Amino acid sequence: MRDRVEPPERLVAYVLCALFGAVTAVLSLIKIPLPFTPIPVTGQSLGPMLAGLVLGPKYGAISQIVYVLLGVLGLPVFANKAAGPGVVIGPSGGYIWGFVVGAWVTGTFFRWSHKGFAGAIGATIAGGILSVYVLGVAQLCVVARIPIAKAILLGALPFIPGDLLKVVIAATSGPRIARLPQRLLRETRRERPDEDVDHH
């Protein structure tokens, strides 16, 4: 039986998923510990914002699943170079798997918007901040056994200024970066012979 050949567009998408998973991992190296909370300030939340804007909801979420799996399998890609499944089920774990939801929400909102700067701002706030905060604060509250008000104080409020800065960075650069894979996909379609097209 003939091996199924993936369409080049899908292969490009998979490569981009792996790339943005790696981008989130690299951004996790940027961290500022805070003495009053177990949740450090990191650059990694910029990853799902960019992934959602550039790759869209489906592949943006897949890219963050790649990131989470890398950490669960033992690579030190979480904040403070942590790794393992214990981190994901720990007090700060909701923020980590929240990146998957955050990338999906960002991509979905951006697709629904007119895809301008304002649309990118709204999408990254909804996905990169609100979605991640809700899941992160909820898990912090449950695992650490603290009241919801304290969980918000420790796990959300201190990070809003930095995350708003990331929103501006993502909204400014994300739509521009998105043009690169779109251009690559167009070139891939143009160079692909008609007989290689896999119709389903």
Q: What does the mean pLDDT of the chain come to?
A: 86
Q: Determine which of 48-57, 113-122, 131-140 has the lowest per-residue pLDDT on average.
A: 113-122
Give which of 28, 108, 9 is closest to 60, Cα–Cα.
Answer: 108
Residue-wise pLDDT tens digits, 84-128: 999 999 999 999 999 999 999 999 999 998 778 999 999 999 999
CA nearest neighbour of 103 among 42, 62, 43: 62
Domain that holds residue 47: 8-182
In a domain, 193, yes or no: no
Measured CA to CA in angstroms, residue 38 lies from 83, 120, 163, 186 at distances of 16, 30, 17, 45
CATH of the domain at 160: 1.10.1760.20
Which H or E run contains 55?
helix 46-72
- pLDDT computed for residue 1 by the predictor: 40
3-state secondary structure of 7: coil
Cα–Cα nearest to 99, from 25, 186, 12, 176: 25
Whether 156 maps to a domain, the answer reads yes
Say if residue 82's pLDDT is above 60: yes
Q: What is the mean pLDDT of residues 35-55?
A: 86
- Retrieve residue 198's tokens: 């896999």
Q: What is the mean pLDDT of residues 191-199?
A: 47
**Residue 29 within any structural domain of the chain:** yes
Distances (CA, A) of 28 to 79, 120, 198: 5, 22, 38
Q: Report pTM.
A: 0.84
110 touches 59 (CB < 8 A)? no
Cα gap 107→54, rounded to integer Å: 8
Domain-located, residue 188: no
Q: Quick one: pLDDT at residue 195?
A: 42
CB-CB contact of 154 with 34 (8 Å): no
At residue 164, the pLDDT reads: 94
- Give the pLDDT mean for 171-192: 75
CA dist list (Å): 39 to 30, 61, 71, 163, 166: 13, 22, 17, 14, 17
Q: Which residues contact 172 (CB under 8 A, 6 or more apart)?
A: 117, 120
Report how far Cα 192 is from the mean position of its chain's Cα atoms. 31
Asked if residue 32 is part of any domain, the answer here is yes
- CA atoms of 5 and 155, how far apart (whole Å): 45
Q: What is the mean pLDDT of residues 54-75?
A: 95
Q: What is the mean pLDDT of residues 53-76?
A: 95
Angle made by CA atoms 170, 133, 147, in degrees to the nearest 5: 160
* 2-37 confidence digits (pLDDT tens): 444 456 678 888 899 999 999 999 998 888 777 776
152 within some domain: yes
Q: Is residue 3 part of a domain?
A: no
In a domain, 112, yes or no: yes
Q: Give me the mean pLDDT over the 147-175 stretch.
A: 93
Instruction: Give the whole-number percent of the chain exceeding pLDDT 90.
Output: 63
What pLDDT is attached to residue 190? Answer: 65
- The more confident residue out of 35 and 149 is 149
Structurally, the chain folds into a number of domains equal to 1
